[in-house]
């Protein structure tokens, strides 16, 4: 059986997205998580992905695939097109657009974390934080106004679930009181996709 190494930080929501996708594609047992310490100069991640971004999928023949949207597309191709990304044109681009929205929320959420992590000797720059929170808030409002279907589960709904889970984890935005429609949606996703709970970060 082919095996893959997923190089990422344990708490990365993008790695969580890939792990959930792999589980749904029937490839979860083939995927080994290899933890990366972000910012470590001696980690070969910068050679595996010149951008240094996580996650990176290592194939058995030494090739690398990055980052999460491309990795999920690879898993979809391996499992059989349509497993994670619909093949019908409208459904496909609905799923990919939803993935872009979830990824955008995650990008903004991570930049908020980085503001404190990589500038520990400076006061947080509030206009920058407000700019990122604005992206998150608009994204959440769009999702709450038009809840995506969970049947079938796609790369889009996986990404949105991981975005909401990351906001619960790092608390960049207290989304549950303001967007209550998303709470039962996430509960329904977690019930339909056991891998969501199985991949919940604890640190």
- Angle at which helices 126-145 and 182-192 pack, to 10 degrees? 70
| 96 & 75 share domain | no
Alpha helices by DSSP H, 64-88: 68-79
**CATH code of the domain containing 73:** 3.40.30.10
**CATH code of the domain containing 190:** 1.20.1050.10
Number of domains in the chain: 2
Distance CA 38, CA 54 (A): 9
Residue 96 resides in a domain: yes
Distance CA 84, CA 169 (A): 25
| 97 & 178 share domain | yes
Residue 176, SS3 per DSSP: helix
* Residue ranges making up the domain that contains 130: 89-198
Residue 84 resides in a domain: no
Using CA atoms, how far residue 69 sits from 25, 42, 98, in Å, is 15, 26, 12
Would you state the structure tokens that stand for residue 133, as one six-digit string?
């929170």
| 93 & 75 share domain | no
User: φ, ψ for residue 118 (rounded to 5)?
Assistant: -105, 0
pLDDT tens string for the chain (203 positions)? Answer: 689 999 999 899 999 999 999 999 999 999 999 999 877 778 899 899 999 899 999 999 999 999 999 999 999 999 999 999 999 999 999 999 999 999 999 999 999 999 877 777 788 899 999 999 999 999 999 999 999 999 999 999 999 999 999 999 999 999 999 999 999 999 999 999 999 999 999 87
Query: What is the chain's Cα-based Rg?
Result: 17
């Amino acid at each position: 059986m082919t095996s893959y190494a997923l190089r990422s930080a344990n708490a990365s929501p993008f790695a969580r997205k890939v792990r959930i996708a792999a589980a749904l594609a029937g490839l979860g047992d083939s995927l080994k998580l290899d933890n990366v310490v972000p910012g470590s100069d001696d980690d070969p991640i910068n050679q595996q992905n010149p951008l240094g971004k996580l996650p990176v999928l290592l194939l058995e023949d030494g090739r690398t695939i990055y980052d999460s949207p491309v990795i999920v597309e690879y898993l979809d191709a391996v499992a059989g097109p349509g497993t994670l990304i619909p093949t019908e044109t409208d459904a496909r681009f609905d799923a990919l657009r939803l993935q872009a929205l979830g990824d955008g929320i995650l990008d903004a959420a991570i930049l908020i974390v980085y503001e404190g992590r990589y500038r520990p000797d400076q006061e947080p720059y509030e206009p920058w934080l407000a700019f990122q929170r604005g992206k998150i808030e608009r994204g959440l409002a769009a999702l709450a106004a038009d809840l995506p279907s969970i049947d079938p589960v796609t790369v889009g709904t996986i990404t949105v679930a991981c975005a909401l889970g990351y906001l619960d984890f790092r608390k960049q935005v207290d989304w549950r009181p303001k967007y209550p429609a998303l709470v039962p949606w996430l509960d329904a996703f977690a019930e339909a996709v056991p891998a969501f709970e199985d991949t919940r970060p604890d640190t």
